[in-house]
Each structure stands twice: as C-alpha cells, then as structure tokens.
Amino acid sequence: MSCDKPRKASGPVSHSPLRTALGRRSRPVVQAEAHLVDQYTRLVSLAYLTLPATLTRHRRVLLAHGIVQRALPRPGGLGRGRERPERVPGQRAGAAAPVPDQLRVRVLRAALAYERRPRGWPQRLPVPRALPARLPVVWGLRLFPRAGGAEEIALGNALASVPAPVRAGFVLRHLENLPDGRIVELLGAAGVPDARAALHASRGLDTTAGPTAETLLRSQEFDACSVQTRPTDLLRRRRRFGILWAVAAALVALVLVGGSLAGDDEVPAARLPDSAPGPDRLVRVPGEAWADTSRVDFSAWPPRGNRTRDEELLTRALATWASPPEGTRVTENAGVRAEPPTGAPQLLYAGATDGRATVLFHDGQRLVRYTERDGVAALDFARADDSDVTTAAAVVLDRGREGTRYLLAPWIAEAGHRDLLRPDDPARPLKVDEDGITEPTEAPSAGSSCDAWPVLQLRSSDRIVEKHAFLVTDLGGLTAAHLSYTPLPGQGAPARQPREATSANALTSWASSACRLGAFRGHDVRAVNVWDFARQDLPERGGSAVWSCARATTWRGPGSVLVQFKAPSDERGTSAPVVARAESTAACSRFGQHVLATTQWVAPSGARHLLAAGSRHVTSIEVTGAVEATAEGRTLARKISASDVRVRVRARLSDGSTLAPLEAPRSDGR
C-alpha cells in the first residue's frame, strides 16, 4: 500500500463552476477517505484489539473491518455540516480536528461500545451495539488471524484480562506511538470516563509485552487483515439442509443476523489419529474414591459435568489434543510441552459453561483443558504433578467478562470469597453447583491499580481427615495458587513452619503484600508464602517495623522472592515497598532459610537511617565502606548523611559463615 502523496497535474485543468463547487464540498471527505485507505490496516488493528476478547476471533475480524469502513463520515461531517466535529488533539477553537484523530476517535468509540452492556440487559443477548447485524457478513466460512507464538498468546491473554479502554491505551502507546497527552484526549473524546486512569493501567501490560510490544502487536496473531479461512461444520450443515429449505423464507433474516452475531458453537467433526485413545478408553474414577485414598490430588477427581458421555465432544477434544488442527489456540505453561497423550488420560470434567464447551483431562503429569466456542478450539496445558489437597483444589474453567468460574475439587465442603486488602471483613459465601462449578467471582486486576485482591477461601471435608480452611487465588494459571503464611520467629529452637493464611495475623500481613502478587502473574505459580522473618525497633522511637519475604514457588520448582519493609507508618491494607528481590532462587524456602535485607528509612525528624535485618540464625550484622558499623543480633540501624552512600553489608550466621543481602530492585522496578 503506497503512502506517496498525489502529484500535481502538469496540464491544464478545467474549472467549471459546478465541478469547482463539488470539489470544494467533498474535499474533507476525500481527505478522510484517502487517510482511511492509507491507514486501513492500522485502524483495523486498533479496532480488533479494542473489541472484547469474549467475542470470537471470526466475529472480531468482521466487526473491526465494519467499524473502520463506517468511520468515514458523511459529506460535510468533518468539521461542518450535519455531524458534530470531535474535540480531539490538535483542534483549535472553532476549527475541525485533524483527520487522523477524527478517524481514530470514531473507531475507538464504536469498538468501546461493544463492551458496554446497559443495566438489566439480558446476558444471553449481544450488547445493543451488535444489534442489528451490519456488513460485512460472511456465511459458511470462519475468518481468523494466523496463530502466533508463546509471547503473542501471553500478550493476548493479558489484553483479554483488562477493560477495553486499557487495551485501547496500550495499542495507542505501542502501535500508534502517540504521546500520553494525546492518548488521554483521544480516549476522552471516544467517551472513556477516566482516560488518564486507563492510560496508567495500560502500563501494567508492559511487564508482559516488554520492549517488544510494538513487534508483538504487529505480528500475525493480531493482524485482522491477513486472515485464514475455514468452513463451518459441513456435515452438520448438510444434515440441516433438508429442514432449512422448508422454512427458508422465514429463516433468511435470522440466518443473516445469526451468521454475523455468532457462529457454530462447536468445531467441525474430528477424526481420531490411530495412535490416540478414544472416549471409551478414558479413565473414570469412581465418585467416592477421593474419600478413601492416600493420594488426595487430581488422580482422585471423578468425572463431572453434563457432557461426560458426549462421545462427539470427547472425540473432538482427544483428536485436537493428539493433533491440533490449524487455527487451534495452544497455550503451554512454563515447563510443559503440548505433546499428545501417551496413554489413556483421566477425564475430570466435560460440560458447558457460559456457552462454551469445556473438557478437562489429567494424564498424571499435566492438566489439559480443551475448550470450544463459535467454532474455535483452544488447548491449555499446565503442570499438575505432585499436587495435593490445596494445589489441586480449584481449576479455572473460564475467565469471562463477569468474572472467573472455578471447578472445585470433590473434597471441598465449603467455599467463600474475600478481599485480601480488607483483613477484617469476613469471607462471603460462594455459590457452587452440584458439579462443583462456582458462580463467577471477581478476578484480580491485571492493571497497575490495586484497590482489591479477591481470593477464594475453601474448607476441605472432614471425610479426608484434612478439614481445614485455606486460601487460593488466580495468578493467570490453569490452577489457583495456594497462599500461606509463616509468622515471626519465636523464642524457642524450632523454626516456624508455613501455615494457612486464615488467622488474623496472617490476613493482616497479607493485606500489605497482596498487591505484590501481580508480579507473579503468568509465571506458572503453584503457591505463595509470606514469611515475616524479622521485627525491628526503629530509631528515634519510630515504632516497630516488620520485614517480610514473599516467595512464589512454581510448578517447575524454582521460585521468585520479594522482600518488603513494613513500617508502622504504612496505612493498613496499603502495599509495603519492595526492598529486595531475586529470581530462580531457593531463598525464603526450607532449602534457603537464611535471608538478609537492607533499606533506608527516613525518621519523622527527617534524619536518614540505613537499616538491615536478618532471619533467625543471623547473630551479627556489619557495615563497611562510607559507613562503618557493627551490631550484635539480627537487626542494625545506622544514621547516614545521604541516600547515595556506598556501603557493604554482611551478616554472620550461627555456624560462623557469612551471608550477603538480597539484591535491591533497580530504579526501573526490575
């Protein structure tokens, strides 16, 4: 597509009055049309990425093209005439806005409308913007962009977890490379109530995309102009033909609308490879086996759901797992390969939730979730070996606009939900149906804002002699992550062990650590433990501070840690600052029980102090360099003159060895 400007004519030009009048009247529209054609691909990408991820890719492709094609105003619509000009960047009082910005605003406003559902509007109906159906309409074919790699899929999942204005802000920043002020004005002109907050929240997606955000957004995964096609279910269409001809006249309008609003809800019929197990070979655990076994994990789950005997669905799921057809979304968590089953897998669930068919398998090492909606299939793989009562307690069935639905383990007797940022509020009951599926629950925010962190509070049945309550939360994986707590060291010899995070002290500690859980999202996290490893009396009667280490352990084994300094001046429920962090480390685990951290603290008088604290086996701490100091015990405080003093801190352990502090986070937050 050429972006060259048209050349001036070299010959004589006719200047008839009628031709001149028509040219003047249509010039703004001609300019808009020229820009739309020139930037068509980018405008379609903006619309496609802003539209709700709950729509199928086929539907989003059609809508994105339709939105851009209808963005061209009627004659006189750009700054004068019947259509009101937009107040967007670069517009002077009484002047029309720049053509590119007017088109962006029109595209954004139309795409954002697909996520606005009026109060009381039936959930089963499309949003009002989608009624009635508009061109373009495709019948008999499915359109979808080509599948990308793991990075593109991870970014797609992150985009799907945030509101449409946040997605739009992210795209305008990285795909259009617009300055912040201009983005805020564009979003505001498109009807976003708090455009600045949406832009700020879009920066939370940078941790997923990294420095390659623009490259990822331009990849084939998000290119709605270069698409693949495939037929809808030919066999099913042929079976229906004998019925359709008799009522064709009555169904023409419905077919045109239905073909655009939603496609077939199942993928085409599948054929199992010869080496793949069939539905008749699936392992089906008896319904009460979990109550009489020494292994309380996924291997004790019975098959549940209303489609466990649906051989067509199970065949499609197994065939897709054995040999994913082109167009299938495949997501592999770290350390898991999307390999075909080597034997007969165990069936955990087969049913439908919110219009999406879901099948859940377990092969002893992995969980495999197969989903299909509107003719699009998806496979998700996750590690599940060495699971237990807590880490096999909840599996994510669906993340939708209304929240997250979990499938709970059969040994869960009670379920509730609570906000970690409000430790004094009791857990609220959570509705669970007879198959163990929860009602939609609020998901943790994927943006930079953190005004709540929802978790599930579950209680196991006394039939497994493990009756206790525990917390789990959604960190973007297929299974919910288990949250635990280790209290401050006691005076006795034995070290404190992690325990469930349901006590008052545990909830209070977690309230100032909860918002840091976002750093572990999407990292295949199995469990997170907060360990309060030291208490320190601050200088100048500044009160008592607590040093905490939050460790996220992955299913692969390695873990990441964040050390927080919780000063008494911090408001309850606010996130304490991170003073140290480490990746792929054994620190703050039973294999890394020694920890040392440092930070600087400013007293109420304005004096600056260097602080250090260590775990229970630290006997002394020494500071050398610009400041010289030694303290017996597990904490140190020394007044310093400036924040940039260069010092070296080391601790002595009870066995005589030395310990270096965990590395402080860099200024860019990493």
Last residue of a domain, one of 382, 415, 431: 382
In tens, the pLDDT along 551-569 reads 999 888 778 999 999 998 7
Distance CA 628, CA 76 (A): 76
511 domain-assigned: yes
Residues 73 and 157 in one domain: yes
Is pLDDT above 70 for 192?
yes
88 domain-assigned: yes
Distance CA 388, CA 431 (A): 23
Check residues 558 and 18 and name the one with the higher pLDDT: 558
Specify the pLDDT at position 256. 36
Residues 208 and 285 in one domain: no
Is pLDDT above 50 for 480?
yes
- DSSP string across 592-631: B---EEEEEEE-TTS-EEEEEEE-TTEEEEEEEESS-EEE
- DSSP string across 97-141: PPHHHHHHHHHHHHHHGGG---TT--TTSPPGGG-S--S---SSE
Specify the pLDDT at position 135. 63
189-226: burial string, b at 16+ Cβ within 10 Å, e else: bbebeebebbbbbbebbbbbbeeebeebbebebbbbee
Residues 68 and 125 in one domain: yes
Check residues 497 and 446 and name the one with the higher pLDDT: 497
Residues 308 and 202 in one domain: no
Domain enclosing residue 527, as ranges: 405-659
Distance CA 109, CA 68 (A): 11
Written as six digits, the tokens of 269 are 């019929």
Residues 188 and 337 in one domain: no
Residues 196 and 49 in one domain: yes
211 domain-assigned: yes
Distance CA 184, CA 465 (A): 56
249 domain-assigned: no
Check residues 58 and 509 and name the one with the higher pLDDT: 509
Is pLDDT above 90 for 483?
yes
Last residue of a domain, one of 351, 382, 413: 382
**Residue in 387, 389, 358, 392 with CA at minimum distance from that of residue 373:** 358
Residues 298 and 185 in one domain: no
Residues 504 and 626 in one domain: yes
User: Going edge to edge, which strands form the sheet with 608-614?
Assistant: 596-602, 608-614, 635-640
Residues 412 and 377 in one domain: no
* β-bridge mates for residue 608, sequence order: 602, 640
The size of the chain, in residues, is 670
Specify the pLDDT at position 122. 57
Residues 369 and 420 in one domain: no
Check residues 243 and 568 and name the one with the higher pLDDT: 568
- Average pLDDT score over residue span 183-192: 91
490 domain-assigned: yes
**What's the chain's average pLDDT?**
81
Judge contact between 583 and 593, C-beta under 8 A.
Answer: no
Among 457-461, 520-524, 547-551, 569-573, which is the least confidently predicted range? 569-573
Task: Read off the pTM.
Answer: 0.64
Geometric angle at alpha carbon 283, from 278 and 288, rounded to 5°? 150
pLDDT band at 255 (very low <50, low <70, confident <90, very high): very low
**Helix, strand or coil, per DSSP, at residue 380:** strand
Last residue of a domain, one of 230, 260, 289: 230
125 domain-assigned: yes
Specify the pLDDT at position 619. 95
Is pLDDT above 70 for 248?
no
State percent of the chain over pLDDT 70: 77
394 domain-assigned: no
Specify the pLDDT at position 88. 55
Geometric angle at alpha carbon 586, from 572 and 332, rounded to 5°? 90
Residues 484 and 572 in one domain: yes
Among 84-88, 184-188, 250-254, 436-440, which is the least confidently predicted range? 250-254
In tens, the pLDDT along 130-163 reads 555 666 777 777 776 876 666 676 777 778 778 8
Is pLDDT above 60 for 96?
no
Overall number of domains in the chain: 3
8 domain-assigned: no
State percent of the chain over pLDDT 90: 43
pLDDT band at 495 (very low <50, low <70, confident <90, very high): confident
Residues 362 and 455 in one domain: no
Specify the pLDDT at position 590. 85
In tens, the pLDDT along 368-421 reads 999 998 778 999 999 998 899 999 999 999 988 888 999 999 999 999 999 999
What number of helices (H) and strands (E) belong to the chain?
14, 26
- DSSP string across 306-370: TTTT-HHHHHHHHHHHHSPPTT-EEEE-TT---PPPSS-PEEEEEEEETTEEEEEEE-SSEEEEE
Contacts of 293 (CB under 8 A, 6+ apart): 300
CA distances 199 to 163, 169, 489, 521, 553, Å, are 11, 5, 43, 20, 32
Specify the pLDDT at position 115. 78
Is pLDDT above 80 for 320?
yes
The tally of CA atoms less than 13 A away on the side-chain side of residue 662 is 32
pLDDT band at 19 (very low <50, low <70, confident <90, very high): very low
